[in-house]
């Protein structure tokens, strides 16, 4: 499976203090490390606290991908912030419901809603 995941980082929110990560690619064992590294860089190194993950271009999510999202949420919470999930594609939304991830994460229909929820 292709090990390519593009991550575009932008700022949002009225105070510009929300970091939006737009993911583009399949999130699985081969690409989860890319996301983990980016999340650690943003949360630990750069000191960001409020993250929104834009999932609108993630057509596949494996358990390794779930792990990286859970790890990011945990790190964000431990630093007084949070990680919100936005714009899940239908298959992934179903997966979130099956696994209960929709109850473990703050999930929003759109990036704007997720940003506004902080």
Q: Does residue 39 touch other proteins according to CB under 8 A?
A: no
The answer to the question of residue 117 lying near other proteins (CB under 8 A) is no
Contact region for other proteins (CB under 8 A) — 44-52, 80-88, 99-107, 108-116? Answer: 99-107
What is the pairing mode between strands 106-108 and 5-12? Answer: unpaired
Q: Rounded to an integer, what distance in angstroms lies between the CA atom of residue 83 and that of residue 66?
A: 13
Distance in angstroms (rounded) separating the CA atoms of residues 53 and 35: 10
Binding site for other proteins (CB under 8 A): 1-2, 29, 32, 60, 62-64, 66-67, 70-71, 74, 97-101, 103-104
């Amino acid at each position: 499976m292709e090990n390519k995941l593009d991550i575009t980082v932008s700022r949002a929110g009225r105070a510009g203090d929300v970091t939006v990560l737009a993911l583009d690619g399949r999130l699985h064992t081969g690409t989860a490390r890319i996301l983990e590294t980016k999340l650690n860089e943003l949360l630990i190194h750069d000191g960001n606290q409020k993250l929104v993950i834009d999932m609108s271009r993630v057509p596949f999510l494996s358990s390794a991908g779930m792990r990286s999202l859970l790890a990011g949420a945990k790190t964000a919470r431990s630093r007084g912030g949070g990680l919100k999930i936005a714009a899940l594609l239908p298959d992934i939304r179903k997966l979130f419901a099956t696994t209960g991830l929709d109850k473990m994460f703050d999930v929003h229909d759109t990036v704007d809603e997720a940003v506004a929820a902080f």
